[in-house]
Amino acid sequence: MAFQHGLAGINAANNQLGAIGNNIANASTVGYKGSRAEFADMFAANFYGVAATQNGIGVSTTAIAQQFKQGGVTTTGNQLDLAISGNGFFVMQNANGTAYTRNGQFQINREGYINNNGDYLMGWGVDENGNVLKGAMSRLKVDTSLLAPRASDGGKVWADADPVKFGLNLDSRSTVPSKTPFAANDPKTYNSTTSTQIYDSLGNPLTLSTYYVYKGASGTPSVASWDVHAEITDPNGIKTTLTPTPSPAKLTFDNLGNMDTSAPPLDFGSYSGSLGAASLAIKLDFTGTTQYGTEFAVNSTTQQGYAPSVMTNLQFAKDGTVTARYSNGQSKTLGQVALANFANQQGLQPIGGNRWIESYTSGNAVINKPGSTNVGLIQSQALEDSNVDMTGELVNMITAQRYYQANAQTIKVEDALMQTLISLR
């Protein structure tokens, strides 16, 4: 019987050494989860059960159990490296189906898809307005084409057009210009001027210049008024004077320096130009402009247009949202990474390549966005290290070696006893 004990023990020690060796070999494998050999004793039973004085018949390996504790996280600076802090798994797809991984070393292939070793990273896409579509998952793709330009009016008719906004201070100490009528090339016909850049439907940069002419104050209490003139200069230097409706365009202020905001934004009609772009509705909004006794100042100018631009950076938020950054300062949501979790992670079936597939024992994958339930959060520009403790594994290796030697000694002693019995006459 001792032969069987020793042989079973040697097999068990060999299995333990195999698990330890595999862990050590993968100590530098990103997202690797270590395993341990688990054992149980064996007894021979008959119809009446196991006798109280019966010895066991050795040991069996019940499982090579995966240990899914969190690995350390190392920052890399690579924008496509992702680490999961939590229990989730990246969802990967290839021609053979769906697999799951903790390895966040991603690349972008020539078609723009985010992938790892040829498997596609899965998540949710976005609609035309950049809203994440929480339906069926799809392959996450990075659109590397030019970001289309946006006209400063939003491509809308004047009534709904996005306005160009100015926050100014017009100097209340100003006097009526000595010369009339207004002429953009004659500074004696206006008090102040400023310019800002706007864009047509093709992304051409246009310079919008505005001029402010003090018209004096009247009434009790007094109300001061200013005429506003506007001119657009295209990239070729061609200037176009804009005609407001009604004309002249006016801003009025009370004797506390507050602008009358009951009037709508100033209507300067549309600009067509000679560059082949669609007509641009020019609406000027001066909400927040003041008339105080200090020098003319431009506190803010904002407009909604931009030129076409190239992608310069890709960012992943903690909740898995993928955002492209462009050279003109704009950003665009491209999708959201999905994470999977399982009722029994140890039931997942390893298939190599840092991949697992679900099994009957693991239960079905439960898909959620990062940050919800217990799937964890995503850390960008970082990778999860192997969770193997090298010091512990080396100690375990020594222990397993001792087990192996001790069980071999059992066989050696049993062999000596057998030799003694055979020698009896």
pLDDT digits (tens, 9 = 90+) for 198-214: 999 999 999 999 999 99
What value does the mean pLDDT take over residues 121-126?
Answer: 95
CATH placement of domain 158-302: 2.60.98.20
pLDDT at 45: 64
In the chain, ranges of CATH 2.60.98.20 domains: 158-302
Inform me whether the pLDDT recorded for 164 exceeds 90: yes
Q: What is the pLDDT of residues 336-382, one digit of tens each?
A: 999 999 999 999 999 999 999 999 999 999 999 999 888 999 999 99
Q: Give residue 83's pLDDT band: very low, low, confident or very high (50, 70, 90).
A: very high
Residue-wise pLDDT for 370-423, tens only, equals 998 889 999 999 999 999 999 999 998 998 888 878 877 877 777 777 788 788
Per-residue pLDDT reduced to its tens digit, 278-294: 999 999 999 999 999 99
Confidence at residue 77, expressed as pLDDT on a 0 to 100 scale: 92
Q: What is the mean pLDDT of the chain?
A: 91
Cα distances (angstroms) measured from residue 291 to each of 111, 171, 212, 216: 56, 6, 12, 12
Q: What is the mean pLDDT of residues 116-134?
A: 91
CB-based contact 362:347 (threshold 8 Å): yes
**Which pLDDT value is given to residue 47?**
54
Q: Which two tokens stand for residue 354?
A: 């840092």
* Rounded CA separation 158/280 (Å): 9
Report how far residue 237's alpha carbon sits from residue 258's, in angstroms, rounded to the nearest whole number: 36
pLDDT category at 61 given cuts 50, 70, 90 is: confident
pLDDT > 70 fraction of the chain, expressed in percent and rounded:
96
**What is the DSSP secondary structure assignment for residue 346, as one 8-state letter?**
G
Residue 72 · residue 21 · CB < 8 Å:
no
- Band (20; pLDDT cuts 50, 70, 90): very high
Determine how β-strand 164-169 pairs with β-strand 280-285. Answer: parallel
